[in-house]
């Protein structure tokens, strides 16, 4: 497996580390495959009681999809590419063990969505969360679906249509962060929560998580199909590509 995903044990809790710090842990095809495969392996490992998702470095949990890889995606490749990314979300939900997101910086787009489908979320005062895909010319379809499981229609519209970011205080106010702690306590607190959930009586835990999974996945395929169609149209018109070209031109200038 590529080293874009690492694992590290903290007692009987496994850290699953997105390991592309130079790119703010942005999601590539390799990283998406690595996350899904590692979750499956950890879920079947009897020595692992819970899983904490986090990002390498101290700047980001995950800054969404990798823009360079997105720029090279052709219209006929959109479904495969988007499917790999969305499989991360699905696999988090399918994981029987507790999955806690330790948000050590920014979590945007696909990174934000990985947090939304985790069982609980821990951040610090510098954590920033949001769904800015619309500003990059990418329709906010799957993201708005996951947000709808947490927030009401009006707030979902605001986040999905403006693409604005939330700081940790606002995210905590809306219930999107369960804990806000000091930066050095994000991972330890997430591990503590994973231990706490892993200690629940097994049938009650399994049935409770199963019900949340059922509710979350009820609209998944419909959102996925709408997301594919929206992205195919956007990429066919060249709108994300133009944004990405302009973004990198400004960065180099």
**Could you tell me the residue ranges of all domains in the chain?**
5-203
CB atoms within 10 A of CB 125: 12
- Alpha-carbon torsion angle 24, 26, 28, 30, nearest 10: 60
Q: Are 148 and 191 in contact (CB under 8 A)?
A: no
In the Cβ-directed half-sphere of 176, how many Cα atoms lie within 13 Å?
Answer: 31
pLDDT in tens, 49-77: 999 999 999 999 999 999 999 999 999 99
Residue pointed to by tokens 């379809």:
141
Predicted pLDDT at 252: 84
Burial (CB < 10 A; 0-12, 13-18, 19+), residue 2, is exposed
CA distance 123 to 121: 7
Q: Spelled out in words, what is the top-level CATH class assigned to the domain 5-203?
A: alpha beta
- How far from chain centre, in Å, is Cα 2? 19
Q: What is the pLDDT of residue 211?
A: 98
pLDDT of amino acid 251: 84
**pLDDT (tens digit, 9 = 90+) per residue, 96-109?**
999 999 999 999 99
Residue 112 token pair: 């934000």
pLDDT given for residue 229 in this prediction: 98
Nearest-CA neighbor of 189 among 121, 129, 117, 98?
121
Q: What is the pLDDT along the chain (253 residues), one digit of tens a residue?
A: 469 999 999 999 999 999 999 999 999 999 999 999 999 999 999 999 999 999 999 999 999 999 999 999 999 999 999 999 999 999 999 999 999 999 999 999 999 999 999 999 999 999 999 999 999 999 999 999 999 999 999 999 999 999 999 999 999 999 999 999 999 999 999 999 999 999 999 999 999 999 999 999 999 999 999 999 999 999 999 999 999 999 999 888 7
Q: Which two tokens stand for residue 81?
A: 């590419």
Q: Which two tokens stand for residue 104?
A: 């050590």
Q: Name the nearest CA neighbour of 10 among 246, 189, 221.
A: 189
Q: How far apart are CA 100 and CA 133, in angstroms?
A: 24
Give me the residue label for tokens 């800015």.
132
């Amino acid at each position: 497996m590529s080293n874009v995903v690492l694992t590290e044990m903290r007692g009987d809790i496994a850290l699953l580390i997105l390991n592309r710090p130079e790119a703010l842990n942005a999601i590539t095809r390799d990283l998406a495959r690595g996350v899904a495969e590692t979750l499956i392996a950890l879920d079947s490992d009897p020595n692992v009681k819970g899983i904490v998702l986090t990002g390498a470095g101290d700047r980001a949990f995950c800054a969404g999809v990798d823009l360079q890889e997105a720029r090279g995606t052709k219209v006929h490749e959109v479904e495969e590419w988007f499917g790999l990314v969305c499989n991360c979300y699905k696999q988090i939900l399918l994981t029987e063990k507790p999955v806690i997101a330790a948000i050590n910086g920014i979590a945007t787009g696909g990174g934000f969505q990985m947090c939304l489908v985790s069982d609980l979320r821990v951040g610090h005062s510098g954590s920033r969360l949001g769904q800015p895909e619309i500003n990059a010319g990418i329709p906010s379809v799957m993201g708005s679906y996951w947000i709808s499981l947490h927030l009401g229609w009006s707030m979902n519209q605001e986040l999905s249509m403006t693409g604005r970011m939330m700081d940790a205080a606002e995210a905590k106010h809306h219930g999107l962060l369960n804990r806000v702690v000091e930066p050095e306590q994000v991972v330890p607190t997430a591990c503590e929560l994973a231990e706490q959930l892993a200690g629940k009586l097994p049938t009650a835990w399994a049935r409770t998580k199963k019900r949340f999974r059922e509710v979350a996945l009820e609209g998944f395929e419909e959102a996925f199909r709408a997301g594919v169609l929206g992205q195919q149209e956007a990429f066919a018109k060249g709108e994300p590509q133009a944004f990405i070209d302009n973004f990198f031109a400004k960065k180099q200038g």
